Amino acid sequence: MKWLAGKLPHDWRQRLYIIIFEADTRPGRLFDLALLIAICLSVLTVVVSSVSAVQDRAGRFMTILEWLFTIAFTLEYIARLVSAHRPMRYALSFYGIIDVISILPTYLAILVPELHGLIDVRMLRLMRAFRILKLTAYVNEAGVLSRALLNARRKIFVFLGFISIVVVIFGTLMHVIEGPEHGFTSIPIGIYWAIVTLTTTGYGDVVPVTGLGKAITGFVMLLGYSVIAIPTGIMGAEIHSVMKEKPVTTRTCVHCLTEGHETDARFCKHCGEPLPPHQTDTAATPIR
């Protein structure tokens, strides 16, 4: 059977599919690793190329590197199109579009030099790294964090709504108190100042000059300093809850047929009859 399968074009596409789209086989994992390294290197190339000193001295080398990465990614895109079960569906998926967008600017900059400003769109290549990370061991950890964020989303919206109203009101207040002569030229600038101050960033490009303005500034800073406790408290409690969630087991009581008994239970918690011994099941280990 095996020698036959090797000759079928279908099987060739299938194998390519497994290498490119999955990460359960050794070649698949190697491909993902190579792709991740290529993505990071190509992003590094874009970053370093933007330094004028590098551009002056090694501009030619950077251009060659950039073309190498673009060609490699183009080949990868074609391979994905060829091996995908439904090429159109892949091409129109989120990652399919990101894949195109991250190679197009290099070609466009050659064809239509006026579009050279779009060259930094290549940085979207970074987004492709997420696809690979989705397949790794870190997905569980990211899962805990995103589940906690999901549980906390309403509380965080309430918090951000409160912050928004605070910065708008204090931004307006400082616009009125300090006025354009002290740099608060408009309410948007006042809001910008309020965000800079409330988040305790403190650039120092717009600062209060009058006594009243300084007193209000002090209040806003203390508010921001105290209020950061709220999202932190929310996330702390949610991450704690998510981490403590019991693993779902499928242990079933043979007497009353209830499911979900804990891994260390010895008796049914519903009817009191002894449970059959528990087979250690990797899927039932707590997410940590």
Query: How far apart (Å, rounded) are the C-alpha atoms in residues 197 and 202?
Result: 5
Find the part of the chain contacting its own copies (CB under 8 A) among 59-67, 68-76, 106-114, 221-229.
221-229
The residue within the footprint of its own copies, chosen from 238, 251, 261, 268 (CB under 8 A), is: 238
CB of residue 186 vs its own copies: minimum separation in angstroms? Answer: 4
Shortest CB 221 distance to its own copies, Å:
4
Of the candidate spans 21-29, 75-83, 168-176, 249-257, the one that interacts with its own copies by CB under 8 A turns out to be: 168-176
Q: Does residue 80 interact with its own copies by CB under 8 A?
A: no
Question: Which one of residues 25, 93, 210, 232 is an interface residue with its own copies (CB under 8 A)?
Answer: 232
Count Cα neighbours of 53 within 13 Å in the Cβ-side half-sphere: 0
Does the footprint of its own copies cover residue 51 (CB under 8 A)?
Answer: yes
Q: Closest distance between its own copies and the C-beta of residue 12, in Å? A: 35
Asked if 97 interacts with its own copies (CB under 8 A), we say no
If one asks whether residue 63 binds its own copies (CB under 8 A), the answer comes out as: no
Distance CA 223, CA 225 (A): 5
Residues 106 to 165: which contact its own copies by CB under 8 A?
A: 117, 120, 123, 126-127, 129, 133, 137-138, 140-142, 144-145, 148-149, 151, 154-161, 163, 165
Could you say whether residue 75 binds its own copies (CB under 8 A)?
A: no
23, 224, 261, 268: which one contacts its own copies (CB under 8 A)?
224
Q: 207 or 284: whose CB is closer to its own copies?
A: 207
Min separation Cβ 83 and its own copies, Å: 27
74 binds its own copies per the rule CB under 8 A:
no
Reference 191, options 226, 161, 159, 165; nearest CA is: 165
Tell me whether residue 25 or residue 164 sits nearer to its own copies (CB atom).
Answer: 164
Residues 177-206 that bind its own copies (CB under 8 A): 180, 185-189, 191-192, 195-205
Q: Whole-angstrom Cα distance, residue 230 to residue 217?
A: 20
Residue 253 CB, nearest distance to its own copies (Å)? 14
The answer to whether the CB of 154 falls within 8 A of the CB of 163 is no
Min dist CB 230 to its own copies, Å, is: 6
* 255 is a contact residue toward its own copies (CB under 8 A): no
Q: Would you say 128 and 38 are in contact if contact means Cβ atoms under 8 Å apart?
A: no
Q: Is 210 in the site for its own copies (CB under 8 A)?
A: no
Instruction: Report which of 270, 288, 277 is spatially closest to residue 137, judged by C-alpha positions.
Output: 288
The answer to whether 52 contacts its own copies (rule: CB under 8 A) is yes
